[in-house]
Structure 1
Amino acid sequence: MVEHVAAHTRFVALGDSFTEGVGDPDPSLPNGVRGWADRVAEQLALTDPRTEYANLAIRGRKLVQVIDEQVEPAVAMAPTLVSLYAGGNDILRPRVDIDALIAGYDDAVARLRATGADVLLFTGFDSVASRVFSRTRGRTAIYNELVREVADRHGATVVDYWRFDEYDDPRMWDVDRLHMSTRGHITMAGRVLATLRHEHTLEQDPLPALVPVRRLDAVRANARWTRQHVGPWIVRRVRRTSSGRHLAPRRPVPTPVAVTTIAHGPDRAPSTGIGV
């Protein structure tokens, strides 16, 4: 278990869209997103302005791509704290060999831990409340148990996304129903900081009670979601292209977190989204 964050932290975030920040738009930042990892870095920097942060995550990356493209650059950065979450894009594919995935994942975690860095790993989200993604629930449960074994073997720390019941609320999700909304990213940042036992100043207005959606409105929303998000996703799978194929890492080298970035004041997340 991570007992504390080093006085001078060099935080390197690895992974796919979850860590890149998709679903939390900010046109002023590279790739147009912010995300939970930025917010964690900002909170660490409030404690120590010398904190450095790199984010190598790119949307659409499968686990082997994350390992091949991001792990060695991260090792070269001599991090003190590394986050790694990948495999969700593999689980969504028609076929996946989870044991083979975890074999490579295990080796990657071993290399990251060999740097002396604290390593944060994530379980996958429990999609039981989703009519669409609940079909992958069994795969995710197997993946999660193997991730926990890897963490135990190498002394890494697990951020147990599977057990975060607040994500059953559809407002925690972006309109694509696949990525966290701004509220979801802020909440995840708080969860990560709690795992690190690091105090934070993140704030959000309480969510009002959910208003029942009329059946006709739900049907229309589902049709719109299918047209705008599911269709393009299927086309990319058929063409074997990635949503991140033309993107570069948002923060390719560790740099201090700018004071102007953390001076935006308390986070206030909008209540958006219609369901997953």
Structure 2
Amino acid sequence: MSDTQTRLGRAPIGSFVALGDSFTEGLGDETSEGALVGWADRFADRLAHRSPVPLRYANLAIRGKVIEEIITEQVPRAIELAPDLVSLCAGGNDILRLGSSVDRITDRFEEAVVELSGAAKTVLVFTGFDPRGTPVLRHLRGKIATYTAHIHAIAERHGCAVVDLWSMTSIQHPQAWSEDRLHLSSEGHRQVALRAAEVLGLAPTAPATPTTPVRDASAAAVRRGPARQTERLEDLRWAKEHFLPWLGQHLLGKNPHETLEPKRPELLPL
């Protein structure tokens, strides 16, 4: 058991604040009425049932946010709330931008961690996903791996708990991802919530869901014939319907008519 797990085992978590972008807001994990759930809501629900004290929970994450926006808009609010536990997942939208510097992104990430560590008892951070099965994004695999290594180093220096998304085999299959291949599905968010609970010593180690692995880019590259042609056509359809609109939105900015607010801006009982 890690030092973080031991510490949390002695001190019940009475308050939890989640910071970040679409991943923490819960895109890809919607109810039948269209409300967003996501790993943070699922984790908070599990935490509330396991904690001997009532849980208060706030989720300040907003889709599309880059690390500078998270630091200037969300981190100060989290410091005001002074929770027992704060989660920080940031930098993913920055890394996908042309010309972005991983060193610059992680320098700002570490500054945020230092500030949050002074207000919260425990800081939970997340690495990047392994994009090897995603067209286009798999070409950024080296950059995301470097980012992941930096996150581990930051966590080591400041005593953070880490959810290593890169190594999670339970999300390395198509069922863990929504149709756009950019956001987790309900199953993917469920797996991350379970992993976060495990990292914090709140759940036993759960085996990965036995499913078909995500296509490996290197294996797909050597395929020939109709199967490979079908994959290419599917990848082109995905790029046209999902990736290019998403990329354009990020490069040109958000829809000016779209008002985005945190779904749980206050630290309230779950």
TM-score by length of 1: 0.83
C-alpha change, 1:149 and 1:207, in structure 2 (3 Å) is: closer
| Aligned equivalent of 1:34 | 37
| Aligned equivalent of 1:176 | 180
C-alpha change, 1:28 and 1:126, in structure 2 (3 Å) is: same
C-alpha change, 1:9 and 1:28, in structure 2 (3 Å) is: farther
Query: Once the two structures are superposed, what CA deviation does each residue of 1:101-137 show, in whole Å capped at 9, x if it has no partner?
Result: 2222111101111114200111111122333211111
Q: 2:59 aligns with which of 52, 55, 59?
A: 55
Q: Secondary structure at the match of 2:79?
A: helix
Distance in 1 separating the partners of 2:15 and 2:256: 28
Where in structure 1 are there 5+ consecutive unaligned residues?
Answer: 258-276
How far is the alpha carbon of 1:214 from its aligned partner? 4.9
Contact 2:30 2:186 in 1 (8 A): yes
| Aligned equivalent of 1:106 | 110
| Aligned equivalent of 2:125 | 121
State the Cα RMSD in Å. Answer: 2.8
The aligned amino acid for 1:180 is L
TM-score by length of 2: 0.84
Where in structure 2 are there 5+ consecutive unaligned residues?
Answer: 215-225
Distance in 2 separating the partners of 1:105 and 1:2: 20
Contact 1:24 1:182 in 2 (8 A): yes
| Aligned equivalent of 1:2 | 4
1:250 is the counterpart of 2:263: yes
C-alpha change, 1:243 and 1:226, in structure 2 (3 Å) is: farther
Q: Secondary structure at the match of 1:178?
A: coil
Distance in 2 separating the partners of 1:138 and 1:243: 34
Contact 2:27 2:184 in 1 (8 A): yes
**Corresponding pairs, count:** 255
How far is the alpha carbon of 1:165 from its aligned partner? 2.1
How far is the alpha carbon of 1:45 from its aligned partner? 0.8
Distance in 2 separating the partners of 1:14 and 1:47: 22
Alignment of 1:74-93 (within 5 A): 74-93=78-97
Q: Secondary structure at the match of 2:265?
A: strand
How far is the alpha carbon of 1:237 from its aligned partner? 3.5
How far is the alpha carbon of 1:168 from its aligned partner? 2.1
Q: Secondary structure at the match of 1:60?
A: coil
C-alpha change, 1:243 and 1:53, in structure 2 (3 Å) is: farther
The aligned amino acid for 1:2 is T
Distance in 2 separating the partners of 1:174 and 1:243: 26
Percent identity over the alignment is 38
